[in-house]
């Protein structure tokens, strides 16, 4: 008691800074001791047991967990007929490890390896082997009887979800072997396809529903077009579901959103019906950068993992035409005029007079589906102008083509720098802006996108 009082008095005499330093040192020592007490991740604690009667391994583990820390509970328990002995009477540990003294039941079980029957089982088997560090696992083996625990189950779930399997820890506890778990995953994939088949979505359009990887959602261009993504989907990895998102269906009454956020909320609502949990991938191209950013931002607020891929497009492209950029545009015009005056003037007249008149005449004569496309595009520009640009947490992946004006690519990269807390990652790709999804370069575009998605999933 006297010692405790002396310690308390000495602590009271310390300054605020000295107390903080003392607390830091204490926490550091506790952390070091805790770490030293834990076994290495590369090692497994295996128990060999003998018993006269049948042993319930799961019940035995549960009993041990009540009496000792989790890391001291053997990850694998093996019942043997008897312990092998060395000449000096000690237990022959090497003989145990070689499996020469397994019981007949263990020997039978070790030979009865059920191999994967489908792609989902094979994917789960790969994950289990990686996490558990076991070379031979049967699809009928119980996860918690072959070394699995609550911590390892979380790692399995993380890897499974990164591979596109909609699993939670609860489901791993409910379906404790690969065979049962695979049946659940398959049923969930079938459910997603049934939802698509039986629902009349306004925005979500299925391009390819099959696949066990996280889906990619391709955002419409300027309120309407998304058909060019069909060719793109053919070159993506086959086990990747591909969907498109349109601002509105063309049949019936048009959906004219009042804001980018409202459109993003509608998109997420339909996405969640098909894939309730992420991770999600989005590719944004041309006129829909604001939609891509807002969808990812809203999903991150729900603690979902979302990956935004921008295809060779500036963040706020309307800023190029802002009044503040008039001197820049004027200087560029003078440079072009000096090198080619006739071509420059004719281009100006065509862009400022001829093309606008043609557009107005076309709009006046538009009807049916053309009229709907125009309404959607004009509405898209309206909500785009009023969008409040806010950053997302994750890295923005930017596909970038080579351009004659190198400074323009710098402007594209700069436009995204303040819109990601984790920065911008640039991926050079072949072709030019208008050919990214055309036959000439779509294969290269798909390769780059596959690589970006794989890298994102690996980090999860």
**Beta bridge mates, 392:** 420
Residue 312 — very low, low, confident or very high, per pLDDT cuts 50/70/90?
A: very high
pLDDT-based confidence at residue 4 (cuts at 50, 70, 90) = very low
Place of tokens 């308390």: 8
Nearest to 162 by CA among 198, 132, 126, 138: 126
Locate 279 and state its tokens: 């991770």
Among 84-98, 231-245, 429-443, the minimum mean pLDDT is found in 84-98
The mean-pLDDT minimum among 79-83, 115-119, 267-271 falls in 79-83
Helix, strand, or coil (residue 60): helix
Q: pLDDT (tens digit, 9 = 90+) per residue, 222-244? A: 656 677 788 899 899 988 999 99
Model pLDDT, residue 40: 43
Is it the case that residue 35 has pLDDT exceeding 50? no
Distances in whole angstroms, Cα of residue 194 to Cα of each of 200, 245, 277: 12, 18, 17
Angstrom distance (rounded) from CA 388 to CA 382: 13
CA distances in angstroms from 227 to 201, 202, 253, 432, 446, listed in the order given: 17, 16, 21, 19, 16
180 band by pLDDT with thresholds 50, 70 and 90: confident
163, two tokens: 């591979």
More confident residue, 314 or 349: 314
- Alpha-helix runs per DSSP H in 66-168: 93-97, 104-111, 119-132, 150-162
Residue 366 has pLDDT above 80, yes or no: no
CA distances from residue 85 to 47, 209, 414 in whole angstroms, order as listed = 16, 59, 71
Whole-number percent of the chain with pLDDT over 90: 26
Cα of first residue to Cα of last residue in the chain, in angstroms, is 51
Question: How many residues in total does the chain contain?
Answer: 460
425 pLDDT more than 90? yes
Please name each of the domains of the chain with its CATH number: 42-112 (3.30.300.30), 114-194 (1.10.1200.10), 199-320+375-459 (3.40.50.1820)
Could you tell me the pTM of the whole model?
0.58
Which whole number is the average pLDDT over 37-53?
64
Cα separation, 67 vs 56, in Å, equals: 17
Residue 121 has pLDDT above 80, yes or no: yes
The mean per-residue pLDDT over the stretch 40-56 comes to 70
Q: What is the mean pLDDT of residues 138-152?
A: 78
Any idea which of 229-233, 359-363, 445-449 has the lowest mean pLDDT?
A: 359-363
pLDDT, greater one: 380 or 97: 380
Tokens representing residue 114 in the block: 């059920």
Q: Express each pLDDT in 375-391 by its tens digit.
A: 888 888 889 889 999 99
């Amino acid at each position: 008691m006297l010692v405790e009082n002396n310690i308390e008095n000495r602590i009271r005499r310390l300054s605020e800074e000295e107390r903080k330093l003392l607390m830091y040192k204490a926490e550091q020592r506790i952390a070091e001791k805790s770490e030293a007490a834990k076994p290495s991740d590369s090692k497994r604690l295996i128990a060999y047991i003998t018993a006269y009667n049948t042993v319930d391994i799961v019940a035995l583990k549960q009993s041990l967990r009540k009496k000792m820390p989790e890391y001291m509970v053997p990850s694998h328990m093996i019942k043997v007929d008897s312990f092998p002995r060395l000449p000096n009477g000690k237990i022959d540990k090497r003989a145990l490890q070689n499996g020469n003294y397994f019981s007949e039941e263990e020997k039978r079980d070790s030979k009865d390896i059920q191999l994967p029957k489908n792609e989902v089982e094979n994917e789960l088997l790969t994950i289990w082997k990686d996490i558990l560090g076991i070379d031979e696992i049967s699809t009928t083996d119980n996860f918690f009887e072959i070394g699995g625990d609550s911590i390892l189950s979380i790692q399995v779930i993380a890897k499974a979800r990164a591979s596109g399997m909609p699993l939670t820890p609860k489901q791993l506890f409910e379906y404790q072997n690969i065979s049962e778990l695979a049946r659940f995953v398959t049923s969930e994939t079938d459910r997603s396809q049934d939802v698509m088949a039986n629902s009349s979505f306004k925005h979500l359009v299925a391009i390819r529903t099959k696949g066990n990887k996280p889906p990619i959602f391709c955002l419409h261009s300027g309120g309407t077009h998304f058909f060019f993504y069909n060719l793109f989907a053919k070159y993506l990895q086959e086990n990747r579901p591909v969907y498109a998102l349109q601002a509105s269906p063309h049949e019936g009454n048009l959906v004219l959103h009042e804001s980018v956020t409202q459109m993003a909320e509608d998109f997420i609502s339909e996405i969640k019906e098909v894939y309730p949990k992420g991770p999600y991938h989005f590719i944004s191209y041309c006129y829909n950068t604001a939609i891509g950013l807002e969808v990812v931002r809203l999903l991150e607020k729900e603690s979902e993992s979302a990956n935004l891929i921008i295809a060779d497009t500036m963040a706020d492209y309307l800023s190029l035409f802002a009044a503040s950029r008039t001197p820049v545009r004027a200087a560029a015009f003078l440079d072009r005029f000096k090198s080619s005056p006739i071509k420059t003037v004719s281009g100006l007249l065509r862009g400022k007079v001829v093309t606008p008149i043609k557009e107005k005449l076309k709009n006046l004569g538009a009807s049916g589906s053309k009229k709907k496309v125009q309404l959607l595009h004009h509405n898209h520009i309206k909500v785009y102008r009023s969008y409040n640009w806010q950053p997302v947490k994750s890295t923005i992946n930017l596909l970038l083509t080579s351009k004659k004006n190198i400074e323009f690519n710098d402007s594209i990269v700069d436009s995204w720098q303040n819109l990601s807390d984790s920065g911008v990652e640039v991926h050079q790709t072949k072709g030019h802006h208008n050919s990214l999804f055309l036959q000439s370069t779509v294969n290269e575009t798909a390769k780059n996108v596959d690589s970006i998605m794989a890298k994102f999933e690996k980090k999860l």
